[in-house]
Amino acid sequence: MKAGAADYVMRGRLERLLPVVERELREAETRRDREKAEQALRENENRYRDLVEASHALICTHDLTGRIVRTNQACADSLGIPKAQLEGSNLKSIVDPRFLPQVDEYLLRIKKNGTDSGLVAVITATGKRRIWRYHNSLRTEGVPEPVVRGVALDVTETHETERALRESEERYRSVVTALSEGIVLQQADG
């Protein structure tokens, strides 16, 4: 037993042989089942990791203090910050400084409601301002510490296009209002 045997049968006690063999067969089957389950879990984790890493969505998890736990490569690329440097930093380090008070409000909403959505302005490593539309949810079950799961899309170009369109409409409206003559709009066919 000190050498690592699970059991032993002494000469003259062969009636113990059958129960020992049956128990060892059950334990071997249990080990095979456990190994199959562990292999299936590893395969599922690899498929999940591949899905997250291949996604163009910006995926991030953080704790309830705002410390970034994990990100996918798309998130790191959008910010121009290496993943290893981004993970472990705080949300406040990437948010546009004008919106820092909103980070604490966001964390309170997540704690209270378990979910939050909206727009956030972030600053890249090169100092460019980007706009992300996010939807985040709190996970408390099955984890040692609560974690916020976040998915975002970079909507900077859309946001800028909408802003430029609003400005153009305002300029057009001010020109039309300033005119002293009447304006008639007519289709090409009369």
Q: Do 42 and 114 belong together in one domain?
A: no
In a domain, residue 1? The reply is no
Q: Do 117 and 154 belong together in one domain?
A: yes
Quote the pLDDT of residue 124: 95
CA-CA distance, 106 to 114, in Å (whole number)? Answer: 11
Quote the pLDDT of residue 135: 96
Q: pLDDT class for 10, splitting at 50, 70, 90?
A: low
In a domain, residue 74? The reply is yes
pLDDT in tens, 135-190: 999 999 988 999 999 999 999 988 887 887 888 888 888 877 777 777 777 888 87
Asked if pLDDT for residue 14 goes beyond 80, the answer is: no
Single pTM value for the model: 0.65
Q: Do 142 and 173 belong together in one domain?
A: yes
Give the DSSP H or E segment for 22. Answer: helix 17-54
Q: Do 35 and 63 belong together in one domain?
A: no
Residue 26 tokens, joined: 């059950």
Q: Do 41 and 60 belong together in one domain?
A: no
In a domain, residue 73? The reply is yes
Secondary structure of residue 137 in the 3-state scheme: strand
pLDDT in tens, 50-84: 766 777 889 999 999 999 999 999 999 999 999 99
For all residues of the chain together, what is the average pLDDT? 86
Give the total number of structural domains in the chain: 2
Structural domain boundaries, residue 76:
56-177
In a domain, residue 8? The reply is no
